[in-house]
Each structure stands twice: as structure tokens, then as C-alpha cells.
Structure 1
Amino acid sequence: MHLFSLIVLGIILFNTLAAIITIFKDSRDIAATWAWLLVLLMLPGVGFIFYLFVGKKISAEKIFDLKEQEHVGINQLVAVQKMQWQQKRLLPPADKLHEEARETVHLFLETDQAILTKDNEVAVFTDGKAKFAQLISDIKQAQHHVHLEYYSFFDDQIGNELLRVLEEISKKGVKVRIIYDNLGSRGMSRHFFDVLEANGGEAEPFFGSKKAIMHSLRLNYRDHRKMVIIDGQIGYIGGFNVGDQYLGRFKKFGYWRDTHLKIKGNAVIAMQSRFIMDWNATIKNSKIRDELDYQEQLFPLFQGDGKTNIQIVSSGPDSDTEAIKLGYLKLINTANDYLYIQTPYLIPDDSVMEALSIAALSGVKVKIMIPAIPDHPFVYRATQYYAKQLLDKGVEIYQYENGFLHAKMIVIDEQISSVGSANVDFRSFKLNFEANAFMYDQEIAHELSEIFHQDMLHSQKLTPQYFEKQSSWLKFKQYFSRLLSPIL
């Protein structure tokens, strides 16, 4: 027994020392550092295997590949717009737009080189069947190219339906390029895109390998963007991935409630630029930017009568500014009347948590909607924990019960709104590659607020009594999950 105790003590000491060395050798924020240390200490051996595949930071080489990419097609526009902002000529008169929107526009110009685009036409989709029907219809009309970037592209009914359409247009000479995330598209056969590629199309995992998911050992950094660009004139951006569950075909989730945008206008320039940067970082030997005769087709001039001002904002581990999170903070701090948020994962960091609390305590009507159905156990329990904390600060929390809520939407004061791929959580702020459309349009903001009110009819408003009735075991899981928040 004495020898056994010494062996156990030795293992514990060795595991503790190895955990400290492993975690502290990399530069990361303090919250994530302690969360990973907790995992390694509580799960000797197993924790290190988990860390090997999930916890290791993205390689410096990959970060360089992303950072070296230029904002193709918009660099000069950024410089011009910064000058226009200084001369107060960038936005319409203050009586037509929330005055503090000017500051938000400038924030994104500085942090993400996100140009402000005007004259955009926007259609909002909240139903997967309607969204994919319109998307497929638009793709069939493509004349020059279709670029798709999705976190999940599944080998199922809708995945194959969309793929067949892409194969058909590629036969006709339309250039099809697809970026997908290996982990998000788990279960896909390596040969899924063979016919498309035989027809001249291209499909590549986001700076990954077409082989096993484990090849890169960087499972924690995912391409979570969801965008489609058609002929440089039509763009889709939002929360829907390509898969049957997003059309409500999975019994587990039931109806899938998401939000997606179809944009026709100059905002597509920014979406195209984002896609090209991601493609060039993924495929070093096939750079779109080197095809000089291609530029007019990639960035056609748009003359339309739309009236929505839009900035396409992206963020990810390749940038230290966390542009989308800063945008969320700006909107929270800007709200005077109301702030509506829909997010499937509510795991805010301290800065967002404090901003939401201050807004509610200051009299702003802060309403947050989360799903009633869990899709990730630890994430859902952490969401419940933060929902209770915010409820105690005066925030109204609604639990959507008509299926699964996957929408990522923020709207304030019927003035400014955001729809995209970024959740209100650590992962979207720090680990994932995300893209959102920030819109400065009263009508769109009103439409999104009305959608929120309609969803409230299918939601339960949570109360302190709701949480008090929960079992001690459930409360423990919520508190424990909260400790892992920075790495969920």
C-alpha cells in the first residue's frame, strides 16, 4: 500500500507539473488558462489527449497565411471612407440615422477595414426551406461564379440537392468554389465532391486536410462563417448551414429557427473580399487574386435602388481586435430604448456581461432569447448559468420552445442591427472565424424586432422561480460548466 501511494502521488505530481508547463508556455487569456488547467488536473492523462486535439493554439504559419491576405478589392475604399468619416460625409444626415451609428461605422473601419456599403437590398429569411429554395434558384441563374463558405456541408438530402445544382452549373462553365470546415462537416465522405471537381469545381477544407479531421490537431479553431456569393452581385450570410437539420428534418430539434440574409448590392463586395482572403489562405497555389482578368467579374459595380447601409465584419484568431465582439459591445452601450438578442449560446465574457447588466440597470429594455433544447450539454448548462445571472440584473430572458433557436441576431432602438454567424460566447469572440452583417436601416431593424416579438409568442419568459425549482444536481452542472466557459 505504501508503494502504491507513492506511485499515485508521483503520478499526481508529474501530471500537475506537466499541466502547468503545457498551459503556461503559450500566451492566452487568463480565463482560458485556468479553464484548461482545470481540465488537465481533473482528467490526468485523458486531459492531455483532449488538449492535444482541441487546446493547442493555431500554428503561427496558418496565422501568417491569413494575416498576409489583403482585403482584395476594397483597400482603397477603406482609405477613402476613413477620410469621408473625418469630413462627416460618410453617412446620411443625423436625422435619418442614429447619431452613434457613425461611431460604430468608424469602429469597424479601424478594427476590420470593413467598408460601409450603401444602396443594398436585403431580404430576411427565418425558415430553412424558404432560404434554400431561394438560394438554389439564384445559383441556377449564375453566369460566372458561385463561391460558398460553410461551417457544415453535410452529405444528406439538402446537401446532395445543392451539390447536384453546383455540379450542373459547373458543367456549363460556371466556376464553383467551396470552403467547408472539416469538423463541422464531420461524416462527409472524402469523395463527396469528386463529380464537382471533375467538372472543374473546387472544394477545400478551411486550411485543413481532406484526410482525417485529426490531421491538423487544431480542432478548437473552426471556420464558422456561412456565406454564398453569386456572380459578385448576390450574397447570402447568416446562421444556416447546409444540412437537413436546418430544414427541421431532425426529430431531436424539431423546427429549426434561424436567421439569414439575402443581400443584393455593394455589401457583396466585402463578402467577396472575405471569401477570397479565406480561399487564398487555404489554397496557396491557386490564388484568385492572381487571375487579373477576373476582377471585373468578381467585383462588378452595382447600381441599385436599395436603401440599407451595411458593413460586413469578420473576426477570428488571426486578429487580436475581436471586431465582432467590439461591435456587440458598441451596440449594447449605444441602446437607449431597447436591445433584443437571439443566440443559441449565451456565454459572454466579463466585458459583455457587464455591458448587458449596465444597460438593463440603466433602464434599457434588454431581452435575450435562448433555445429550450440543448445541442451541446456543457454549453447549454453554461448558457443557463449566465441566463440566471443576467436575469438577476434585470435582463428579460426568453426560452424559445417551438423547436431549436439557432439565430444570431441583435437589434437596438429600431436603428442598428446585426445578423451573422457569431454567437454571444467566448468561442465566437476568440476561437472561431466568423462573419456578420451590421445594418444601419430603420426598416430592417423594425422587421427584425417584429420577428423577435413573434418568437416571444412561442417562448417562455424565465423567472427567478424557474431557476429556484431546479435540482441541486442541475445547478451543480451549470456552475461547473461555467468554469469551462472560456474553452467550450
Structure 2
Amino acid sequence: MKFVRKILFHRIIFLFVSILVQLLVLIAIILKFNEYFVFFYGASILISMVAVLGIINNHINPAYKIAWIIPILLFPILGGTFYIFFGGKKLGKGARDKMISIENKTRKVLVSQESVLEEIESQNKVAANQSRYLQDYGHFPPYRKTISKYFPSGELKFEKLKEELRRAEHYIFLEYFIIEEGEMWNSILDILIEKASEGVDVRVIYDDVGCLFTLPYGYDAKLEELGIKCCVFNPLIPILSPMINNRDHRKITIIDGHTGFTGGANLADEYINKVEKHGHWKDSAIMIKGEAVWSMTVMFLSMWDYLREIEENLEEFKYDNNLLEYNSKNTDGYIQPFADSPLDDETVGEIVYLNLINKARKYVYITTPYLIINNEMVTALSSAAKGGVDIRIITPHCADKWYVHAVTRSYYRILIKSGVKIYEYLPGFIHSKNYISDDDYGVVGTINMDYRSLYLHFECGVWMHNCSTIMEVKEDFLNTLKVCKEITMEDFEDIKWYRSLGSSVLRLFSPLM
């Protein structure tokens, strides 16, 4: 263990020192040209102007544009340079072209479900419109023959996950933002090793930044030695680059093509409260069985093919759902897993959320660890609340990052004034990413309400319509409210002016949070 920690420590130090040296070189260059300040100032202004023009002409969400343009204009000397190094939204052109090529291939195997859409439309035109958006622009179709089960905690998901993993016969696919050695991961790893020895195709993808402090360098090679195929997403390199922005924030488990899991919980002990970092950790997950798992399987395989630079016949991984032990009588409603990628101009996760809010007639209940939202989202929430829709949002009381929490709280006042009800989860940190509305629609997934999740990360979720699972999510929300504190306008009366000013300054850097 000491050796592992030593390797991890050295890697972090190396990365830190390398980036620090590059920053010092930039500062040295600035100081070198101090005697030519007028020329340097002019060049800096020019760079910032070019950066602003580039942002304006870029096909990205206007809110993300504004979030970058404001700090660049406020700090013109270094703003443009800072954007060049940290503001890029996409991977390099070569990597982007490769990923887009793979995504185009996967779209061919995700066949449009027009008959299912027509069935939804015959019952609910609004639901059909939301579902069609995901099929036509997200390229993920709706499914009928699928059952779902909601887990209101990471602990419950963990137990069911182990149970399903032990049943695997053909393949196990895991794709997670964070994996950390401990009771949770080690228990899962034991099962994976056993299954790999039986000939089951076991594959793991983890994000390098997400696991920077939780796994030792070269952990993928260790898994390969154990018979587990492994890929690391977007390995961190000691060079200032906007490519660091794009992370794989998904949490996916797929078993034999018929069972899938996703939600907020990663594979680390805090997600099952075996260790305490920010009080009690409240998370959630969803399991689906049936036809809809095919979309999740394709999500994983598209990422796998990109990382391994291989081309597989995806159809070989498709499960014959007629072999499942249940039939259509056990299913209810419609299930539509979907993914969101930063490589295109379609902000699928954001639009799914906005559709739920804008189409709501009775209520919208939201749980999110972060509330760093743009004007469009603020307007949608405020307008719905002003129109009589019961909008309730639960956020954490205990912060995992103080500066992010400060920005989250900075949005409370404007929302509460509009009639939105804000609650904080008193026992600790709530990490669930759940949306439900009108007992009719729901989303459980990995997508936070912040800039990084909505615009920069690879994400996923499960959209539901007319499913009994939606009522399970609602029950969990109402139970969680019992241990929450409602935030009122009185809570803002004693806030010091310098705290408000600090939050306003931090909001300038919201695209980085």
C-alpha cells in the first residue's frame, strides 16, 4: 500500500510541478516584456479580442459564451490567454473526428422506434414530443419492453449490483468517472476476477482525472494482468491544454446486454457511506432490464472502440430479450436511455431538463449536488414557478467544494423570489441527479446542473414516461424533504456584503466549476 501511495504521490507531484513550470514560464515572458508594456498590453488585448470573436462565432450554447466573454472582458490582459489554455470545449480535431465517426456508426444500430413513438403520441402528445427529440437529435430511441427499478441510496444499488454481476454469463461492461480501492470496489473486483477466469468478457473504463487521487498510475495494466480489459479515458498529461475539460462523467454497468445500471453513484466507499467525507452521502441509481439496455450497451461500446481504436460488430453484443424471464405484462411505461457528448452542438441533457420544466403543469422535483445554472435555466424555473407549478430543488447542506457551494447558494435568492422552493439536505451531501414532474416524467442519470456536466462532459441518463419507477423517485424525494431545511428570504438577511461580493466574483468562473 505504501508503494502504491508513493507512485500516486509522485505522479501528482510531477503533474503539478510540470504545469507550475509552464505557468512560471508564461509569467517570466510577461515580465520579460515589461519594458515593452504598451506592446505587450496591445498584444494581450488583441488576443482577448480574437478569443471573444472566436467564442461569439462558435456554435456553442449562448450561456456558455457569455460565461467566458464576461471574465475575458473584465481581465483583458490575461483573459484571452487563459481561455486558450482552459476554455476549449472539445477534444483535438483528430480525436473529435474519430469519435464522431464511431458515433455515426452506432446510430445505424440504434434503430428508430416509430411504432413506439406513435403509441406514445396516441396517449400523450407532449410526451411524444420529448421522446422524439431524444430519438431524432440525441439518436437514442424509446423502448416499451423494459422494466426499471429505482435505488434511493448507493448502498442499495451496491447490493443489487453485486447480485447481478454474479449472474453474468457473457460480458460485463463498467464505465465510471471515479473508482477507488476500498470495500466497494474490492468486492466488485473480486467478482470481476472470478468472472474473467470463467471466460466472461470483462471491460472497464475509468476517467483519469476522476481517478487521479483514487487509483495509482498504471492501474489499467494491473487490471489487464488480472484478465480484465481496461481503458483510461483522456489520460492527464503535464501540458496546459483545454483537452483536460472533456471528462467521462458517466456511471454505467451493463451485464450480458439485458441488465443495465446508471445514476449518481461511483465505485468508491463514500457512495455507500463506508467512509464519511461530507456527512451522510445521499445518492441514487436506476436499474433497467430489457430492450432499452441495448442503448446503454451501444454507449459503452462506442466509447470502448474510440479508446481502443478498434471496430467491433456491435450486433454481436445484442441480447435476445425473448430469453428474459419476464414478458410485456411485467413492464410499464416507456424507457429511453440517452447519452450527451461535448463533441456536437446538441446539449441533450440541458434540453431534456428544460423540456421537463417547460412542459410541467403541476410540479417539478429536482435533486442536484450543484446549482450553477445559466439564464435560460433560471428563466425556465422562475417562469414555471410564477405560473403556479410547484418547483422544488434539493441541494447539499455540506459542501464537497466550498467555492462551488458558494456559487450554488448565490442562485437561491433569485429563484426563491420567483416562487421556487429551495431545500438543503441537512445530514450531509446529496449527490443524486433526479428530475420528476407531474407523476408522468422522470430522469435519473449522471447530469449535474452545472456548466461542466451540461457542456463539457460525456454524460448519460434514463428518461421515463408513465413508469411506476417515477413514483418511487417521488417517494424518495418526499422522504428526503423530511430531513431538509427550506431556505427562505430571511436566510439572506444576515449575509455579510463581502460574502455576497465573493459569491459574485466566483460566479465569473462558473464555466470552470
TM-score using structure 1 length: 0.88
Separation (CA, whole Å) in 2 of partners of 1:436 and 1:4 = 50
Which position in structure 2 is the counterpart of 1:267? Answer: 292
Q: 2:414 aligns with which of 382, 389, 392?
A: 389
1:417 aligns with 2:442: yes
- Distance apart, 1:163 and its partner CA: 2.1
Give the gaps of 5 or more residues in structure 2: 1-31
Secondary structure at the aligned position of 2:250 is classed as: coil
Q: Equivalences for 1:117-132 in 2 at 5 Å?
A: 117-132=143-158
Q: Kindly indicate whether residue 389 of structure 2 is the aligned counterpart of residue 356 of structure 1.
A: no
Tell me how large the CA RMSD over aligned residues is: 2.9
Q: Counterpart of 2:221?
A: 194
Is this contact kept in 2: 1:71–1:273, CA < 8 A? no
Question: Residues 77 and 448 (structure 1 numbering): CA distance in 2 closer, same or farther, change over 3 Å?
Answer: same
Q: Is the 8 A contact 1:155 1:189 kept in 2?
A: no
Compared CA separation, residues 53 and 204, structure 1 to 2 (3 A) = farther
Partner-residue secondary structure (3-state), 1:282: helix
Equivalent residues of 2:269, 2:275 under 8 A apart: yes
Give the alignment partner of residue 102 of structure 2, picking from 55, 60, 69: 69
1:172 aligns with 2:205: no
**Aligned mates of 2:276, 2:346 — CA distance in 1:** 40
* 1:315-464 pair list within 5 angstroms: 315-464=340-489
**Pair 1:245-2:277 in alignment:** no
Q: Equivalent residue for 1:236? A: 261
Deviation at 1:223, TM superposition (A): 0.8
| CA–CA distance in structure 2, aligned partners of residues 372 and 43 of structure 1 | 36
Letter matched to residue 389 of structure 1: I
What's the CA shift for 1:388? 1.7
Deviations 1:102-130 (A, max 9, x none): 11111111111221112322221122222
Q: Distance in 1 between matches of 2:172 and 2:271?
A: 21
- Contact in 2 for aligned 1:272/1:298 (Cα 8 Å): no
- What is the CA–CA distance in structure 2 between the aligned matches of 1:250 and 1:185, rounded to whole Å? 17
Aligned to 1:115: 141
Q: What is the aligned partner in structure 1 of residue 178 from structure 2?
A: 152
Distance across 1 between alignment mates of 2:390 and 2:189: 44
In structure 1, the partner of 2:48 is 19
* In structure 2, C-alpha distance between the alignment counterparts of 1:47 and 1:186, rounded to whole Å: 28
Q: Which residue does the alignment assign to 2:114?
A: 82
Distance 2:281 2:76 in 1: 35
Which amino acid in 2 is paired with 1:19? S
Q: 1:102 to 1:127 in 2, by over 3 A?
A: same
Task: Report the alpha carbon displacement of residue 20 of structure 1 after superposing the two structures with TM.
Answer: 3.4
What is the rounded CA distance, in whole Å, between the counterparts of 1:4 and 1:278 in structure 2? 45
Instruction: Give SS of 2:266's match.
Output: coil
Match of 1:184 in 2: 210
Which stretch has the larger CA shift, 215-224 or 441-450? 215-224
Shift of 1:299: 7.8
CA offsets 1:276-335 (integer angstroms, 9 cap, x no match):
1111122113x3337x7x345598865532224100111121221212211111111111
> Match of 2:92?
59
Instruction: Give the aligned partner of residue 28 of structure 2.
Output: none
Aligned residues of 2:121 and 2:128 also touching (Cα < 8 A): no
Confirm whether residue 310 of structure 1 aligns to residue 310 of structure 2: no
User: Which one of the candidate residues 279, 284, 290 is aligned to 1:254?
Assistant: 279
Please, what TM-score do these two structures have when normalized by structure 2? Answer: 0.84
The 3-state SS of whatever aligns with 2:471 is helix
**Structure 1 residue matching 2:492: 3-state secondary structure:** helix
- Aligned-partner Cα distance in 2 for 1:43–1:153: 40
Q: Which residue number corresponds to residue 139 of structure 1?
A: 165
Contact 1:32 1:487 in 2 (8 A): no
Counterpart position of 1:289: 313
Aligned counterparts of 1:380 and 1:460: Cα–Cα separation in 2: 16
Contact 2:372 2:408 (C-alpha < 8 Å) held by counterparts? yes
Give the direction of change, closer, same or farther, for the CA distance of 1:469–1:163 in structure 2 (3 Å limit).
same
Segments of 5+ residues of structure 1 without an aligned counterpart are: none
Q: In 1, distance between residues paired with 2:487 and 2:62?
A: 32
For 2:479, the aligned partner's letter is Q
Task: Provide, for residues 2-35 of structure 1, a one-character-per-residue CA deviation record: whole Å limited to 9, x for no partner.
Answer: x999666665444433333345446355554454
CA–CA distance in 1 between the matches of 2:40 and 2:240?
29
What is the rounded CA distance, in whole Å, between the counterparts of 1:117 and 1:452 in structure 2? 26
The 8 Å contact of residues 342 and 407 in structure 1, kept in 2 or not, is answered as yes
Aligned with 1:162 (options 188, 191, 196): 188
User: Contact 2:391–2:421 at 8 Å: present in 1 too?
Assistant: yes
Aligned 8 A contact 1:411 1:448 in 2: yes
Distance 1:36 1:438 in 2: 31
Q: Secondary structure at the match of 2:338?
A: strand
Assess, with a 3 A threshold, how the Cα gap between structure 1 residues 275 and 219 changes in structure 2: closer, same or farther.
Answer: same
- Cα offset for 1:249? 3.6
